[in-house]
Chain A
Amino acid sequence: MSTSTTCWKCLSRPSLLSSQLSSRIAQVTVSAPFSSTATSLAPPLIRGNNGPQKGVKGTTAIKKKNRPQQTGKPPMPGERKALRKRVVLSNTNAIEVQDLVDLNQETVDGLLKENASGEYTSPVAGKVVGLPGTTVDSLRAIESFKTSQGWGLFRRPSLLVRKEAIDLTKSLVSAAKDQITQRLIIDGARGTGKSLMLLHAQAAAFAQGWVVINIPEARELVSATSDYAPIPDTMPQLWTQPTFTSSWLEKIQKANKTQLDTLKMTKKHNLPIEVPSEISLSRFLEIGVSDTDVAWPIFQAFWDEMNAKDRPPMLLTMDSTSYVMGMTEYRDKAINFIHSHDFVITKLFMDLFSGAIKMNNGGAVIAATSRSNSPTSISMDLAIMQALQRQAGEKLTRRNPFERKYDERVDSALRDITVMELSGVSKAEARSLMEYWAASGVLRQRVDEQIVAEKWALAGNGVIGEIKRNALNMRI
């Protein structure tokens, strides 16, 4: 600090001289020279009713109410949230539907039968199928079931096999046969069954012995709620999410345990820790589960192993995809937001979508959008629109030249994707679904053509979430 007494840069009043200041402090200290009694020796203040002081008005402060004492044990940390997020998959009150076909390998094979005019002739086409117990366990492990999907109303989880689902199954089967990587985005209005289409793909994949890897909610990748770390010596800088990756590995291991137990390690990997050779892939993933620091290297090695010869095909799925189509909430060293494609898990999905990475044994990468509570990504929306127009042979919509918010990296990742656009189910499908509800004893109504047509029309021409809301939720 400059020692000059006046502020030479401005015209403000000069500050106090240091000598003046010290003299003031001295004055303060000498103001009560005769009081040498310690405050602790002073007589205690008399509390209580001293009567109103003369000339002082009493305060009209509101008296505090006696709150009732909280009795009982308070809930443990996380217990209340767990109750809220609990997924119930069975209702013991509901009637078990007789002769419900399971979605197993045999059914999946039978689904693909067509007649000469290209119609699916399988007896379960357009009908409700049950999910077998092992598939349900696997789907639960990868967190495919959501709380809002109404699983808790029926005796066991079951799915409507709609036409689009058979199309999807067909493309999965062909991907495994031709060892190609299917790239698909499922889009559609709110409540049209995008997440359930993902679930159908996962169930069909489990039935065929695929290895399924799922991101149930892409928001978890970008919301900065799990820890992150830079990967050294990467240009541009890449980042990992160790805890997330570790718990992800656990889900993968749990869901695909029967399949991964049979697969042994074959390759040598450059890993930061010693790994016993010739262990099963399931055991190998467990190492990554226990040690978060090596979770990502373990996943990389796992990916290499899965792309070795004679391995089962893989299905990678992601829901609420628009979350990973932009910046994350994470920040780098310079306090700038990090792009979501700089995180390795998201990068894997995007490389698969752009075609930079392929799965050697065939497989599919499927992403579903969310149209209820998710950020808008104009790049993704444009890519979806252009893909639909390309599929229909129409003229492509050009990007808006006055818009700045397009994301180049999203554009390049989604350049040539395939899009499945979902809309309402047909009346026949709606009817078989409502018949299943009625057979379960949950829908207490006659199911005839008129009622089906009414519900179908009220639900925006068969938007399945709206049919459910209208007929099943008893919102009256």
Chain B
Amino acid sequence: MPPRLNLRAASRSLAIRPRPSMVPHQPRITQVVARRAYATDKEQPKTPNEAPLGHVSEEAADLGKVMGETEPDIGQGTSVQEILKRDQEGKEKAPEVIKEGIETPSKNTSQTNTVAHRLALGDLENVSAEPVGHKFGLPELPLPSNANLHYRYDPVVDQVTNLLMQHGKLSVAQRNMSFILNHLRTSAPPKTNPLRPLLAGSPPASHLPLNPILYLTLAIDSVAPLLRIRSQKGAAGGGNALQIPVPLGQRQRRRTAIMWILDAASKKKSRGSGKTQFAQRVADEIISVVEGKSNVWEKRGLVHKTGTSARANLMFGQKRRRIAS
């Protein structure tokens, strides 16, 4: 992070110093000499805290030395234009001469100092033309979709984990999720039921246990409803609710399916004891979904059936709007 520059310190020490022509291997000792000397011996500071601050770049260099960061090259000096470029308030209050300088930046202030420029001049030696400074290289672009911190896990696993969570205890939910996935890969391959077809193009059942995330995703996506039924109060006349089918997005569909599975699991009875019992029941429910035994399929069928019979109500809102206009 570049050190913060304040204008007071800047204006206090705006030393008009001639920028040395490119002398890259100038020894450090000259920089010490170049520092502002004290007018009299009396004014010499007794403690390091009493010493007046150097100009901006010197201060930045000192700070960089303390913080272990790369310090600016003092030999270069910092041009006032560069400081003011970052400071809007200072720019407005700056003298006219400097203002003019900002508007017409001289070419030699910045461009001549770039590594590329100096490389082209053959000024720098022992520096390869390839980009340096990357310890582990640059990442390959485009970045993978899970490169973002917040999307590093599989979306289905992430969603199930969050829905498993109770009382904000994410770690417990993660442990349960881990148990579920491990249970899926250690239990026998499911025997699928042709009456309850899974998603088209799904792999054979024998391939599922070794890919538990696919197993879970397949169970959830296969049983996820396409729509939900919204009950519009009083819209059917006589105070009756009108059922209107509403299409769901992918995440909403999955959410509905997961909640059905979790509800079914919580109604089951656990056979063993210990803290993994709920996870065990959820895993068993997922297996029974893939095997077509779960009651979640009935729920899905009911929603779809209601949706089919209520599709006449789809135009409900639009009709009213037309009448109003």
Using a CB–CB cutoff of 8 Å, the interface residues on chain A facing chain B are 72, 75, 80-81, 83-84, 88, 91-95, 152-153, 441-442, 444, 473-476
Contact = CB atoms under 8 A, between A and B. Distances in A.
Contact of A476 (B154, B271, B272, B273): B154
B273 A81 contact: yes
B76 interface: no
A473 B271 contact: no
B186 A152 contact: yes
- Which of A83, A473, A474 gathers most chain B CB within 10 Å? A474
A95 B206 CA distance: 12
Interface in B7-52: none
A476 B185 contact: no
Given A91-B186, A475-B174, A72 B157 contact: no
B186 A93 contact: yes
Contacts of B189: 93
Ranked 7 nearest A-B pairs via Cβ: A83-B272, A80-B273, A93-B209, A475-B178, A474-B181, A441-B210, A84-B274
A444 B186 contact: no
Given A81-B273, A93-B188, A442-B185, 9 more contacts: A152-B186, A153-B185, A153-B186, A444-B210, A474-B177, A474-B213, A475-B174, A475-B175, A475-B178
A450 to B, nearest CB: 9
B211 interface: yes
Contact of A94 (B175, B210, B274): B210
Contact of A92 (B161, B178, B188): B188
B272 A474 contact: no
A80 B161 CA distance: 26
B273 A84 contact: yes
7 contacts: A81-B273, A153-B186, A473-B182, A474-B213, A475-B174, A475-B177, A476-B154
Contact of A75 (B181, B209, B210, B271): B271
Nearest to B189: A93
B107 interface: no
B319 interface: no
B66 to A, nearest CB: 29
Interface residues of B, number: 26
Contacts of A84: 272-274
A444 B272 contact: no
Contacts of B209: 93
A84 B158 CA distance: 27
A81 B271 CA distance: 10
A84 B276 CA distance: 9
Nearest to A474: B181
B269 interface: yes
Interface string B201-220: 00000000111110000000
B186 A88 contact: yes
B190 to A, nearest CB: 11
B178 A474 contact: yes
B273 A83 contact: yes
Contacts of B186: 88, 91, 93, 152-153
Contacts of A88: 186
Given A152-B186, A473-B182, A475-B175, A442 B271 contact: no
- Which of B153, B178, B186, B209 gathers most chain A CB within 10 Å? B186
Nearest to B188: A92
Contact of A473 (B157, B178, B272): B178
A205 B235 CA distance: 81
A473 B174 CA distance: 11
B273 to A, nearest CB: 4
Contacts of B181: 474
A473 B189 CA distance: 19
B206 to A, nearest CB: 9
A93 B269 contact: no
B211 A444 contact: yes
B273 A153 contact: no
B186 to A, nearest CB: 5
Contacts of A474: 177-178, 181-182, 212-213
Interface string B241-277: 0000000000000000000000000000101111000
Interface string B114-147: 0000000000000000000000000000000000
B152 to A, nearest CB: 8
